[in-house]
Chain A
Amino acid sequence: MWLLLGASAVVAVVAFVVAGSRLAARRAAAPREITVSLVAFPDQPIVGEAQVFRTRTEMLSIGDPSGPRRAAHPRTLATYRVLRAYPGAPPRIPHGLTPGEFREGACKACHERGGFSVRFNAYVPVTPHPEMGACLQCHVGDAKLMAIPLPSTDPNSRCRQCHTAGGSRASDSTLDWKTMPWPSLMPVSVGRTPPPIPHDAPMRTNCLACHAGPSGVVEIRTSHPERADCRQCHLQASALPEPDASVARGAVIEFGGAP
Chain B
Amino acid sequence: MKRRHVARSAEREASRENSFRAHMTSVDRRTFLKGVAAVSAVAAGSAVANDATAQARADVVSRQERPPVWKKAPCRLCGVGCGLLVGIQGGRAVAVQGDPKSTVGDGLACAKGYYSVQALYARDRLKRAMIRRDNRLVEVPIGEALDLVAQRLRETTAKYGKDSVALYGSAQWTIPDAYVASKLFKGALGTNNVESSTRLASASAMAGLEGSFGLDGTIGCYEDIEHADIIVLWDINIAETDPVLFSRMLARRKKNPAVRIVEIATRTTRTSYAADHSVLHTPRSTQAIANAICQEIVARKWVDQDFVDRHVAFRRGRPDIGYGITSDALVADDATTATWDEYVSFLGGSTPERVQALSGAPAASIRWLASLYGDRSRKVMSVWGANVNQHARGTYTNNALYNIHLLVGKIASPGNSPFAITGQPGGGNALHDAGSLTHTLPRGVVRQERDRQRAADIWGVPVGQIDSKPTHAALSMFRALDRGDVRFLWIQATNPMVSLPNVDRYRRAAGKEGRFIVVSELYPTATTAVADVVLPSAMWFEREGIDANVERRLQHFDLMVAPPGDAMSDAWQMIEVARRLGFGKMFPAERRGHVEQLWNEYRKFHEPPSTLPALSHLREGTGAMWPVVDGHETKWRYNTALDPKADRARGRYDFYGHADGRAWIWLRPNEPPAESTDADFPFWLNTGAVLEQSGTGSITQRIPTLHRAVPRAYVEINGDDATRLRIRDRDLVRLTSRRGAIELEARIEYRSQPQRGTLFVPSFDESLPVSRLMLDAFCPISGQPDLTTCAVRVERVASAAGG
Contact = CB atoms under 8 A, between A and B. Distances in A.
A43 interface: no
6 contacts: A88-B95, A138-B111, A172-B49, A172-B57, A241-B67, A255-B562
Contacts of B566: 256-257, 259
Contacts of B61: 178-181
A248 B69 contact: yes
Contact of A155 (B42, B98, B743): B743
A148 B750 CA distance: 10
B711 A147 contact: yes
A159 B767 CA distance: 8
B95 A89 contact: yes
A141 interface: yes
Interface of B: 31-32, 35-36, 38-39, 41-42, 45-65, 67-72, 85, 87-92, 94-98, 100, 107-111, 114-115, 118, 121-124, 141-143, 146, 239, 243-244, 246-247, 250-251, 254, 269-270, 273-274, 495, 507, 523-526, 528-529, 536, 538, 542, 544, 558-569, 572, 576, 591-593, 619-620, 691-692, 698, 701-712, 714, 730, 732, 742-745, 747, 749-752, 766-769, 797-798
Interface of A: 31, 33-36, 38, 78, 81-82, 85-90, 92, 99-100, 102-105, 131-134, 136-144, 147-148, 150-151, 155-156, 159-182, 184, 202-203, 238, 240-241, 243-245, 247-250, 253-257, 259
Given A82-B55, A166-B698, A168-B45, 13 more contacts: A103-B273, A134-B246, A148-B710, A161-B36, A165-B39, A170-B708, A173-B123, A175-B121, A240-B70, A241-B67, A253-B560, A255-B559, A256-B567
Given A86-B95, A89-B114, A90-B114, A179 B58 contact: yes
Interface centre among A89, A132, A137 (most CB of B within 10 A): A137
Contacts of B558: 248-250
B565 A184 contact: no
B767 A164 contact: yes
A243 B102 CA distance: 13
A36 B71 CA distance: 33
Given A34-B56, A179-B60, A248-B558, A89 B96 contact: yes
Given A103-B273, A173-B49, A144 B94 contact: no
A249 B72 CA distance: 12
B62 A181 contact: yes
A167 B523 CA distance: 10
Contact of A172 (B35, B54, B100, B244): B54
B704 A86 contact: no
Given A133-B247, A259-B143, A180 B89 contact: yes
Nearest to A129: B108
Given A102-B751, A155-B743, A174-B704, A137 B244 contact: yes
A10 to B, nearest CB: 34
A36 B72 CA distance: 34
Contacts of A174: 45-47, 122-124, 702, 704
A72 to B, nearest CB: 17
Given A177-B118, A248-B559, A163 B526 contact: yes
B47 A238 contact: no
Contact of B56 (A81, A132, A134, A245): A81
A16 to B, nearest CB: 27
Contacts of A81: 56
B617 to A, nearest CB: 13
A33 to B, nearest CB: 6
Nearest to B60: A181
A142 B709 contact: yes
6 closest Cβ pairs, A-B complex: A257-B566, A165-B529, A165-B38, A172-B54, A168-B46, A86-B95
B68 A180 contact: yes
Q: Which secondary structure dominates chain A's binding surface?
A: loop
Given A99-B749, A178-B92, A257-B568, A85 B118 contact: yes
A109 B91 CA distance: 42
A174 B750 CA distance: 29
A176 B708 CA distance: 17
Nearest to B797: A155
B44 to A, nearest CB: 10
A181 B63 contact: yes
Contact of A162 (B32, B121, B142, B714): B32
Contact of A142 (B45, B94, B538, B708): B708
A164 to B, nearest CB: 5
B60 A180 contact: yes
A25 to B, nearest CB: 16
Contacts of A168: 42, 45-47, 122, 124, 523-524, 702
B580 to A, nearest CB: 9
Contacts of B38: 165
Contacts of A33: 53, 56-57
B247 A137 contact: yes
A31 B751 contact: no
A129 to B, nearest CB: 10
A111 B571 CA distance: 48
Contacts of A90: 111, 114
A248 B239 contact: no
A177 B524 CA distance: 19
A133 B123 contact: no
Given A85-B115, A166-B698, A202 B98 contact: yes
Contact of B706 (A137, A140, A148, A177): A140
B52 A38 contact: yes
Query: Among the interface residues B48, B96, B576, B711, which one has the most CB atoms of the partner chain A within 10 A?
Result: B711
A234 B39 CA distance: 56
B798 A155 contact: yes
A259 B576 contact: yes
Contacts of B97: 88, 202
Contact of B243 (A137, A144, A254): A137
Given A248-B88, A256-B542, A162 B124 contact: no
